[in-house]
Amino acid sequence: MALSINQFARSDFSREGYTLNEVEGTFTGTLMCSVWGKKCNIICYVELDDGRKIICTAFQQQDNYLGLEDYKVGERLEVTYQRNKRGNNKLIAVKRTE
Protein backbone atom coordinates (compact mmCIF):
# COMPACT_ATOMS: atom_id res chain seq x y z
CA MET A 1 0.00 0.00 0.00
CA ALA A 2 1.18 3.49 -0.79
CA LEU A 3 2.67 5.67 1.92
CA SER A 4 1.50 9.20 2.61
CA ILE A 5 3.97 12.00 1.89
CA ASN A 6 4.68 12.31 5.63
CA GLN A 7 5.21 8.56 6.06
CA PHE A 8 7.56 8.56 3.08
CA ALA A 9 9.56 11.47 4.52
CA ARG A 10 10.03 9.52 7.76
CA SER A 11 10.89 6.26 6.03
CA ASP A 12 14.45 5.10 5.43
CA PHE A 13 13.80 4.45 1.72
CA SER A 14 16.55 5.87 -0.51
CA ARG A 15 15.52 7.28 -3.90
CA GLU A 16 19.14 7.22 -5.03
CA GLY A 17 19.60 5.69 -8.45
CA TYR A 18 15.93 5.86 -9.48
CA THR A 19 15.10 7.71 -12.70
CA LEU A 20 12.08 8.16 -14.95
CA ASN A 21 11.89 5.45 -17.59
CA GLU A 22 12.67 6.70 -21.10
CA VAL A 23 12.45 3.34 -22.89
CA GLU A 24 9.25 2.11 -24.56
CA GLY A 25 8.20 -1.47 -23.94
CA THR A 26 7.13 -3.95 -21.29
CA PHE A 27 9.40 -4.70 -18.34
CA THR A 28 9.23 -6.85 -15.23
CA GLY A 29 10.52 -5.93 -11.81
CA THR A 30 9.83 -5.63 -8.09
CA LEU A 31 7.94 -2.85 -6.34
CA MET A 32 10.27 -1.35 -3.75
CA CYS A 33 8.17 1.57 -2.47
CA SER A 34 5.08 3.58 -3.36
CA VAL A 35 3.90 6.97 -2.15
CA TRP A 36 0.93 9.23 -2.81
CA GLY A 37 1.96 12.37 -4.70
CA LYS A 38 0.72 15.93 -4.35
CA LYS A 39 -1.14 16.04 -7.69
CA CYS A 40 -3.67 13.19 -7.42
CA ASN A 41 -0.99 10.72 -8.43
CA ILE A 42 0.86 7.73 -7.08
CA ILE A 43 4.63 7.35 -7.41
CA CYS A 44 6.17 3.87 -7.40
CA TYR A 45 9.82 2.91 -7.23
CA VAL A 46 10.50 -0.29 -9.16
CA GLU A 47 13.71 -2.29 -9.57
CA LEU A 48 13.59 -3.90 -12.99
CA ASP A 49 15.00 -7.34 -13.75
CA ASP A 50 17.51 -5.72 -16.15
CA GLY A 51 19.04 -3.83 -13.20
CA ARG A 52 17.51 -0.42 -13.83
CA LYS A 53 15.68 1.45 -11.07
CA ILE A 54 12.71 3.39 -12.38
CA ILE A 55 10.08 5.77 -11.06
CA CYS A 56 6.54 4.95 -12.25
CA THR A 57 3.91 7.64 -11.94
CA ALA A 58 0.19 7.18 -12.52
CA PHE A 59 -2.49 9.84 -12.27
CA GLN A 60 -6.10 9.25 -11.28
CA GLN A 61 -8.06 7.77 -14.16
CA GLN A 62 -11.18 5.68 -14.63
CA ASP A 63 -9.15 2.59 -13.72
CA ASN A 64 -7.82 4.16 -10.48
CA TYR A 65 -4.11 4.81 -10.96
CA LEU A 66 -3.67 1.69 -13.15
CA GLY A 67 -4.21 -0.33 -9.97
CA LEU A 68 -0.88 0.75 -8.44
CA GLU A 69 -2.52 1.70 -5.15
CA ASP A 70 -3.30 -1.99 -4.51
CA TYR A 71 0.22 -3.37 -4.89
CA LYS A 72 2.42 -4.14 -1.90
CA VAL A 73 6.16 -3.66 -1.51
CA GLY A 74 7.96 -6.75 -2.76
CA GLU A 75 5.32 -7.71 -5.32
CA ARG A 76 6.42 -8.58 -8.83
CA LEU A 77 5.06 -6.29 -11.55
CA GLU A 78 4.97 -6.01 -15.30
CA VAL A 79 4.94 -2.37 -16.43
CA THR A 80 4.27 -1.18 -19.97
CA TYR A 81 5.38 2.18 -21.36
CA GLN A 82 4.39 3.85 -24.62
CA ARG A 83 5.14 7.24 -26.15
CA ASN A 84 2.22 9.66 -26.27
CA LYS A 85 1.49 12.21 -29.03
CA ARG A 86 3.91 14.68 -27.42
CA GLY A 87 6.71 12.11 -27.45
CA ASN A 88 6.69 11.56 -23.69
CA ASN A 89 7.08 8.02 -22.42
CA LYS A 90 3.93 7.19 -20.43
CA LEU A 91 3.06 4.29 -18.15
CA ILE A 92 -0.01 2.71 -19.78
CA ALA A 93 -0.42 -0.66 -18.01
CA VAL A 94 0.59 -2.52 -14.87
CA LYS A 95 -0.08 -6.11 -13.87
CA ARG A 96 1.11 -8.65 -11.32
CA THR A 97 3.52 -11.36 -12.37
CA GLU A 98 4.74 -14.54 -10.74
SS3 of 61-87: CCCCHHHHHHCCCCCEEEEEEEECCCC
User: Residue 56's pLDDT is what?
Assistant: 94
User: Residue 27's pLDDT is what?
Assistant: 97
User: Residue 39's pLDDT is what?
Assistant: 83
The answer to whether the CB of 30 falls within 8 A of the CB of 74 is yes
Q: Given this structure, which CATH class describes domain 5-96?
A: mainly beta
Weakly modelled stretches of the chain, pLDDT under 50: none
User: Residue 46's pLDDT is what?
Assistant: 97
User: Residue 61's pLDDT is what?
Assistant: 72
